[in-house]
Amino acid sequence: MKKRLSFLMIALVAVIALVACGDNKETEEGTTDTDANDDTTTSGETYTVGATQIVEHPSLDRAYEGFQAALADAGLDVEYNYQNAQADQNNVKTISDNFVADDVDLIFANSTPSAEGALNATKDIPILFTSVTDAVSAKLVEAMDKPGDNITGVVDLHPDSIKQTIEFIDEYFEGSEVGIVYNAGEANSVAQIEAILEVAEDTSLTITERTVANTAEVQQAAMSLAGDVDVFFIFTDNTVVSALESVISVANEQQIPLFVGEPDSLALGGFATYGIDYYTIGYRTGEMAVEILTGEKTPGEINVEYPPSMQLFINQEAAELQGVEWNDAWDDEAEFIETSDEEDEE
């Protein structure tokens, strides 16, 4: 009986030792359950994010890259369903409705129309937007510090961007008539043109507008302004920016300086802008997404944010093509951007 008891005790010790070895092996090869509980980003959960973008454009693409980078840096396992609306509002609605039907964990809305479509489609799924010019005027949120129950994000217009651009034009192109082309159907564009008109009241500038309904009308609108204006100012209107090459061709042919709304349009051939880095605002939006997906915060607990910084960007090659008389003061003030190789080849 004693021998049998001793045998059982030895066997029990052996089993305990094997279990202990197994635990040590798991610790060496991977994360233990305890470790996973300590770090929500390594919990093994996979999240589904629906990404909706109004149109393909370098700035919007950079914002999406920044958004993805923030989630990757946080260690989240994310499956993305990326959909481009190709500047078609009907596509915006379909995309948003499909995300809701698929019950995605979060919607990343990259542009004002995309955010409007997502919010119209759902009040339950969290929505994070960026590349939105004025979230309040677009009725996405009540105020910057009053996000919606399921929506918040980062806008792409620094509060002083339009003011500084207009003041720059007034200082170096005094008395100019400024030609603007935009789509009056875009809430973000309406907000910007209102801001431009308000700032211009205290300057020597005159604002002349042309509105378009689609990209096919952009070149004709630019040409209709060419004989009357001294400079162009094309801000972040999704429709016009999608056809920016047609405005650039008119600006170059007629030697009219072309001011734009963001640095990526400079790489296409614009002359100057007070702009931001879209990758940065996309990344910050991604950081917000991490907080929401991991349950740390809800959209309603995260205020809408402005871009963190802004500066003067200039394309010197475009300046030459558009007949700009160079001012030495810009050498120290501006960051210089070259026309992209792709555009050069075209």
Phi, psi of 73 (to 5 degrees): -65, -30
Structure token digits, residue 97: 């409705």
Q: Rounded distance, CA 84 to CA 88, Å? A: 9
Confidence label for 209 from pLDDT (cuts 50, 70 and 90): very high
Which of 182, 183, 128, 68 is closest to 299 using CA atoms?
A: 128
For the cut 60, the answer to whether the pLDDT of residue 13 exceeds it is no
The pTM of the full predicted model, rounded to 2 decimals, is 0.73
For the beta sheet containing 311-314, the strands, ordered from the edge strand earlier in sequence to the opposite edge, are: 206-211, 177-182, 231-234, 258-260, 272-275, 311-314, 335-336
- Higher pLDDT among residues 296 and 21, named by residue: 296
Using one digit for the tens of pLDDT, what is the confidence trace for 325-341? 999 999 999 999 998 76
92: CB partners within 8 A, 6+ apart:
52, 54, 85, 113, 114, 116, 117
Could you identify the residue written with the tokens 């499956």? Answer: 79
Confidence label for 124 from pLDDT (cuts 50, 70 and 90): very high
Candidates 3.40.50.2300, 3.30.1490.20, 3.40.50.720, 3.30.540.10; CATH matching 161-275+315-345: 3.40.50.2300
318: CB partners within 8 A, 6+ apart:
248, 252, 258, 266, 269, 270, 271, 339
The neighbouring-strand residues paired with 206 are 177
Arithmetic mean of pLDDT, 286-312:
96
pLDDT score of 341: 62
For the cut 90, the answer to whether the pLDDT of residue 85 exceeds it is yes
Among the residue ranges 13-27, 165-179, 277-291, the one predicted with the least confidence is 13-27
Candidates 3.40.50.720, 3.40.50.300, 3.10.20.90, 3.40.50.2300; CATH matching 44-156+278-301: 3.40.50.2300
Hey, where are the domains in the chain?
44-156+278-301, 161-275+315-345
Structure token digits, residue 172: 């170096």
Helix (H) or strand (E) holding 3: helix 2-29
pLDDT score of 43: 60
For the cut 80, the answer to whether the pLDDT of residue 188 exceeds it is yes
Question: Phi/psi class of residue 181: alpha, beta or left (left: φ > 0; alpha: ψ in -120 to 50)?
Answer: beta
Using one digit for the tens of pLDDT, what is the confidence trace for 253-280? 999 999 999 888 999 999 999 988 899 9
161-275+315-345: same fold as 44-156+278-301? yes
